[in-house]
Structure 1
Amino acid sequence: MQTIIHYSLHFLLPGIIAWFFYREYWVKVWLLLLATMLIDLDHLLATPIFDANRCSINFHPLHKYYSLGIYILFLFFKRTRIIGIGLVLHILTDWLDCLSM
């Protein structure tokens, strides 16, 4: 069930956000929100790359607390707001995974 919730929050929730808040350009916004999942490339720096029992928050470089602070700053500027929403949502989703461990 945790996997279903995790991937629903990564894929479906961004679509819902795009639909409700950016309806005129919802597909473009949804794709942009999905593109923020590229921060998971920092998992490639870990050994092993995937560990089901590892919390990614404050472990991987792009999942650090200071990174979250930068992502939150993105929310305050119109040009970076959508990216900020995607990155903060991503971190919150991963944080929920950590709570369920």
Structure 2
Amino acid sequence: MSSRAIVHLFLHAAIPALLAWMFWRKRFLSAWALMLLGWIIDLDHLLADPIYAPNRCSIGFHPLHTAPAIAVYAGLCVPKKTRLFGIGLMIHIVLDAMDCWLMHAGSARG
């Protein structure tokens, strides 16, 4: 596994933890867990062949990583009952988009 992939996975856990600590400290564990549920959208990787391709951009490729799905995730950030889950989904999408950008920037250089 590449260092980029390791950092990417680490950030998927660390950023929700940091936000939970900063904004929901009294309920840190539950806030962090609800944001970590954003990883559930990676179930759409099971529909791909191969399931994991280290240099494939998820955004726009997997069904739960497309614009209509992202619009739903943004909407989930509004109601208080779904806000933490929605934030977790949006963090996931932003991190995946950043990973795509890094992949493209790396391939352009080299």
TM-score (ref. length: structure 1): 0.94
2:40 to 30, 38, 41: 38
Distance 1:15 1:6 in 2: 14
Identity %: 46
Which SS does the other structure have where 1:100 is aligned? helix
Q: What does 1:47-62 align with in structure 2 at a 5 Å threshold? A: 47-62=49-64
TM-score (ref. length: structure 2): 0.87
Distance 2:11 2:89 in 1: 12
Runs ≥4 in structure 1, deviation > 2 angstroms? none
Distance 1:35 1:70 in 2: 15
Distance 2:55 2:85 in 1: 28
| Letter in structure 1 aligned against 2:102 | S
Distance 2:5 2:53 in 1: 14
Cα RMSD of the aligned pairs, angstroms, is 1.0
Displacement of 1:8 after TM fit? 2.5
Are 1:81 and 2:83 an aligned pair? yes
Q: Which runs of 5+ in 2 are unaligned?
A: 104-110
Distance 2:39 2:99 in 1: 15
| Structure label with greater radius of gyration | 2
2:12 to 10, 13, 36: 10
Q: Which runs of 5+ in 1 are unaligned?
A: none
Which stretch shifts more, 43-52 or 26-35? 26-35
Match of 1:24 in 2: 26
